[in-house]
Amino acid sequence: MILTVTLNTALDLTYRVRSLRPHASHRVSEVIERPGGKGVNVARVLAALGHEVTVTGLAGGGTGRAIRDRLAEVPGLTDALVPVAGATRRTIAVVDELSGDTTQLNEPGPQITPAEWGAFLDRYEELLAGASAVALCGSLPPGVPVGAYANLVRAARSAGVPVLLDTSGEPLRRGVAARPDLIKPNADELAELTGSHEPLRATQDARRRGAHAVVASLGSAGLLAAGPEGHWQATPPTRLHGNPTGAGDSAVAGLLSGLVERLPWPDRLVRAVALSAATVVAAAAGEFDQSVYEGLLRGISVTGDISAA
């Protein structure tokens, strides 16, 4: 079983409009509602790939109930979310059909009490016992300690469970120091962590700070990975336009599935890039276009140097 953690779950709403214009009224052509938050998106992609996956984290209120109702419909996915009193947030993506651009609005999460956080920690420890790998994903809601991910990384390492960390800012900085097996920042998050805007140098610096391996998202340039064996870059053959929400989460799912399947690094990166690109053209985060994904698996180039890391 693969375990994903989403401390700041969300109900994702996607609105499609003909053309998004400031200070104007818009007729919405389509509304899509999905359970969200980074780890939830990762879990849905993993389930679609055929993996048994368990979702944990925090959820509450009417939006929390809506998320859990939707998760119950996903084959291969087990809901182990911990209930809280506050209402889970919503995120709103507005897709401009003419330009293909997306505008994102993210609500803050609910205030988490010390008792609720303690209940989650107990549940997390229980779930680790049956996990083959764990992904710690996304932002922290108010009330959760800034060093939360560092503690969760240490708990996974103590249990002998490989752990992937995908967050940003101070939670990432503290989490890296706890020595996760893999981190997956984007270029801006990596530069904030290391102070370097040169991707390869920054990935190597992040490893010196504690990460065993680093995979950096470089947008249309694909993914750059650095680990003990060397470094590789996987690049998609073409840039796809659509809704980028969840593309990074699909990449995490590709990396995590490759890890548990013991795939070599180039194959992990090809899968992650193909899933990420196939998510851009899908209707909502946590989904991917199967035909685009299968086509890209044959067209992604990987370059690398096994002696450089």
175-230 pLDDT, tens digit each: 999 999 999 999 999 999 999 999 989 999 999 999 999 999 988 788 999 999 88
Tell me whether strands 102-106 and 28-36 are parallel, antiparallel or unpaired. Answer: unpaired
277: confidence class by pLDDT, cuts 50, 70, 90:
confident
**Hey, which of 2-11, 28-37, 214-223, 246-255 has the most confident mean pLDDT?**
2-11
242: confidence class by pLDDT, cuts 50, 70, 90:
low
Query: Cα torsion at 6, 8, 13, 18 (round to 10°)?
Result: -100
CA atoms within 13 A on the CB side of 21: 8
In this predicted structure, what is the pLDDT of residue 240? 65
Start-to-end CA distance of the chain, whole Å, equals: 31
Cα–Cα distance, 15 to 13 (Å, whole number): 7
Q: Is the pLDDT of residue 307 over 70?
A: no
Is 101 labeled as catalytic in the residue annotation?
no
Percent of the chain residues past pLDDT 70, beyond the cut:
95
In which element (H, E) is residue 142 found?
A: none
pTM for this one? 0.90
Asked which of 48-52, 144-148, 276-280 is least confident by mean pLDDT, the reply is 276-280
Q: Which residues contact 79 (CB under 8 A, 6 or more apart)?
A: 54, 55, 68, 71, 72
308: confidence class by pLDDT, cuts 50, 70, 90:
very low
Task: Confirm if 88 and 110 have CB atoms less than 8 A apart.
Answer: yes
Task: Confirm if 205 and 185 have CB atoms less than 8 A apart.
Answer: no
**Hey, which of 104-108, 125-129, 219-223 has the most confident mean pLDDT?**
125-129
Asked which of 9-23, 109-123, 142-156 is least confident by mean pLDDT, the reply is 9-23
Cα–Cα distance, 156 to 134 (Å, whole number): 8
Identify which of 197, 160, 167 has the alpha carbon closest to the alpha carbon of residue 181.
160
Q: CA distances (Å), 234 to each of 155, 274, 303, in order?
A: 32, 10, 7
Q: What is the mean pLDDT of the chain?
A: 91
Catalytic residue selected from 12, 166, 249, 289: 249
Identify which of 144, 107, 124, 2 has the alpha carbon closest to the alpha carbon of residue 56.
124
243: confidence class by pLDDT, cuts 50, 70, 90:
low
Asked which of 85-89, 169-173, 231-235 is least confident by mean pLDDT, the reply is 231-235
